[in-house]
Amino acid sequence: MNKNRTMKRSKRAKPSNHENGVDFISNMPDPILQLILQGLPTTEEVVRTSVLSKRWRYLWTSIPHFPSIDLDVSRGPKNPNKLALQKKKFKEFVSWVLENQTLDLDSFRLSCDNYYMQSTILRWVDAAVMRKVKRLDLTFYTKGWLEDVTLPHCHSLESLRLILYTRSYLEFPDGMCFPALRFFELNCVVIAKLDLVERISTICPLLEELCLIDCPMLNRGGDTLSISCPKLKTLRIHDQHENGLRGLGISVLGLKVSCPELVFFECVGLEVQNHFILENAESLKKAVILPYCILRKKVSSQLGDTICELLAGIAHVESLSLNHFIIRVKT
């Protein structure tokens, strides 16, 4: 008898799933669950909650202020037999996420190193722009070399990084404008006309940081690349001669920089030409100038004068980094 009473008490005392399990959490109001999801650090962790129960399956899509979407197709299976299916599922998933009307995006990062459907990728970018994205980070291959890539207008965009591993052109149609953009990086992007860079101050009037990393430029040697941005504080130019289009990098051009608010200037890998001018550099505090070996050829007196004028113009900086190539030319 006592044994039966003990068993009944034990059954009554046994906690239910609503107290210790997923169901208890799932029964919380949507605003509380959305706060929990917003606290998760990555998109992957947020999406994984969709497998907890039917209640959670689409809950993450209803977050009023979704902080970021970070998608990397390269992290999937490498088995060729599964790759086609993976790409299909990836395409369907990304399209479904971005077409959800409830999402406003702070950040959209997309890395597709084995996905070549440029039209699909640009459609995703359009969808992100419709979600008022603030930070856009795109890495992808186009199907062929030297194809045109055109980005849509975006009034909300504050940061843009574009990496094109197949050396495609970036086009800025007339009237293109990113009025809120403050950070802009082009990496491995072919620049067909110098005026694309020279128009940046008009396209991005609030730009504070510009990075040109290994960007081939289809111009004649002897031309000068002019960069004039009234708000620019940081300028990084790298030309590491690894772009597969030797002789078409920034190195074959002269360089003229006129940015009155420039604080940090970094120039790495360029062959210093006879025209290397820093104007209105009174605000400059730190400069890093590490040219490619310019001693392979005879150094002209004009080049020597250019180096001396350059160093004299930045003598006021608080921090100056040079390599031995530029120092030997000066001496």
For residue 63, give every residue at least 6 positions away whose Cβ sits within 8 Å of its Cβ, in sequence order, or none. Answer: 34, 37, 38, 102, 103
> In terms of pLDDT, which residue wins out, 164 or 182?
182
- Which of 97-101, 228-232, 260-264 is least confident? 97-101
Averaged pLDDT of the chain? 75
Q: What percent of the chain has pLDDT over 70?
A: 63
Q: Residues 81-124: pLDDT tens digits?
A: 666 777 777 788 778 777 765 567 888 998 887 665 778 888 88
Tell me the mean pLDDT in the region 237-258.
Answer: 67
Residue 8's pLDDT band, with cuts at 50, 70 and 90, is: very low
pLDDT at 227 over 70: yes
For residue 242, give every residue at least 6 positions away whose Cβ sits within 8 Å of its Cβ, in sequence order, or none. Answer: 214
pTM above 0.85, yes or no: no
For position 328, what pLDDT does the model report? 54
**Look-up: residue for tokens 């950040």?**
107
pLDDT at 310 over 70: yes
For the chain, the structural domain boundaries read: 18-62
Per-residue H/E/C for the chain: CHHHHHHHHHHHHCCCHHHHCHHHHHCCCHHHHHHHHHCCCCHHHHHHHHHCCHHHHCHHHHCCCEEEEEEEHHHCCCCHHHHHHHHHHHHHHHHHHHCCCCCCEEEEEEEECCCCCHHHHHHHHHHHHHCCCCEEEEEECCCCCCCEEECCCCCCCCEEEEEECCCCEEECCCCCCCCCCCEEEEECCEECCHHHHHCHHHHCCCCCEEEEECCCECCCCCCEEEECCCCCCEEEEECCCCCCCCCCCHHHCEEEEECCCCCEEEEECCCCCCCEEEECCCCCCEEEEECCCCCCCCCCHHHHHHHHHHHHHCCCCCEEEECHHHHHHHC
- Which of 36-45, 84-93, 231-240, 310-319 is least confident? 36-45
For position 185, what pLDDT does the model report? 96
What is the CA 219 to chain-centroid distance, rounded?
25
pLDDT at 203 over 70: yes
For position 205, what pLDDT does the model report? 94
